[in-house]
Copies of this chain bind each other. A is one copy, B any other.
Amino acid sequence: MLPTRRCPLSQRTTLADVAAAAGVSVSTASLAFSGAGPIAAATRERVLAAAAELDYSGPNPLGRQLRSGRSGIVGVVVGDALRRSFRDPVSVQMLDGLVGTLGEMNLGVLLIPGPTDPSEPPVDPLVLSAAMDVAVLLWASGSADPVLAALRRRGVPTVVVEGIPEPDVATVGIEDRQGIAQVAQHLVDLGHRRIACVALPFDRTRGEGVVDAERLAQVQWQITRRRLDGMYDAGVQPVAVYETPASLVEHGAAAGRALLSGADRPTAVLCQSDLLASGVVLAARELGLAVPGDVSVAGFDGLDLPWLAPDVLTTVAQPLAEKGAEVGRSVARLLEGTYPPPVVMPVELRVGTTTGPAPA
């Protein structure tokens, strides 16, 4: 057994020590570090020298934070357990854009796991008690979202991504309803009448399988709801809707196997995400079905999917990194103390090689 060695748990020297060593007042020493006020160059030098002498590496953030009432932290509640969110390029690319923008404003990102399965508590403890100036909610379920409710109670200004615009939060979203309508119309134009739908999760129970009418009425998550509505907008009444527990290739593959191995299989599968769609394509190949000869497949997101090569998925592209940057800008507005107007970003139909005329 090694002897346990103590480690120093925090710095000892304070601004007061440095000020004393430099022969100035604490307030002057503070200015030397923050630069927020008039100070003689010589004085600053003296303070900095004293700091170096004492191994003082700058004002303690905890003191600064309490005094200024700001933590410099943005809590980001991701849409799922981290393990799954990180596997979804949609979340990752957005997060990347967001972290970049926030970094420029000297804000840090506190990662908060989102709603997992119902066996877990609905709200992570960090949501309840971590220090944060603003929160960002990816994939909020709607105005009754328990996480959103908790943040409201705390009075934490919040940016909701893919939610519903509401007076007391900032919102960033995309034209997904119109986008899905476009790609659905594209399938109709190709002559498809038997169209199945592979949907994102309905709620935190994260069920899996073809749903009945009752379940279909229970969709809680707004992103899923809107994308279903977009499909209806194009006049498509799907022959089946398959609910998935997460936007991942394996769930798309499972959906594909279920939908395409039955007797009167659909001629087209409209998926609410690219990852789900690529799973469906893989399942179709597995089953020996030609894409798009036997079945057309379309997705949503506009991801780069090299493993589908030589196929290119028909999809609706959304500007992921820019969406993240836009969220960052909304965060900045909230910090300034005003609610930015809701942002809705455009999407674009991109016809690839996975959709074609309905088979005769």
Contact = CB atoms under 8 A, between A and B. Distances in A.
Interface of A: 2, 4-11, 55, 57-58, 61-63, 65-66, 69, 71-73, 81-83, 86-87, 89, 92-93, 95-96, 99-100, 103, 106, 108-113, 124-126, 128-131, 150, 153-155, 157, 167-168, 249, 306-307, 334-335, 337-339, 341
Given A7-B338, A9-B337, A92-B87, A55 B99 contact: no
A108 B130 contact: yes
Given A62-B71, A72-B130, A111-B99, A154 B11 contact: yes
B2 A341 contact: yes
Q: Is chain A's interface secondary structure helix, strand, loop, or mixed overall?
A: mixed
A255 B73 CA distance: 40
A154 B62 CA distance: 13
Given A5-B339, A125-B106, A63 B61 contact: no
A153 B341 contact: no
Nearest to A58: B129
Contacts of A131: 61-62, 65, 71, 131
A86 B82 contact: no
A26 B97 CA distance: 43
A235 to B, nearest CB: 34
Contact of A6 (B73, B338, B341): B338
Given A4-B338, A6-B338, A86-B86, 9 more contacts: A6-B337, A6-B339, A8-B157, A9-B157, A9-B335, A61-B71, A73-B130, A83-B93, A108-B126
Contacts of A168: 7
Contacts of A10: 69, 155
20 contacts: A4-B339, A6-B339, A7-B168, A9-B337, A10-B155, A11-B154, A57-B128, A57-B150, A57-B153, A58-B128, A58-B154, A62-B65, A62-B71, A83-B92, A83-B96, A87-B89, A87-B92, A103-B126, A109-B111, A306-B307
A157 B57 contact: no
A325 to B, nearest CB: 13
Contacts of A111: 99, 108-111
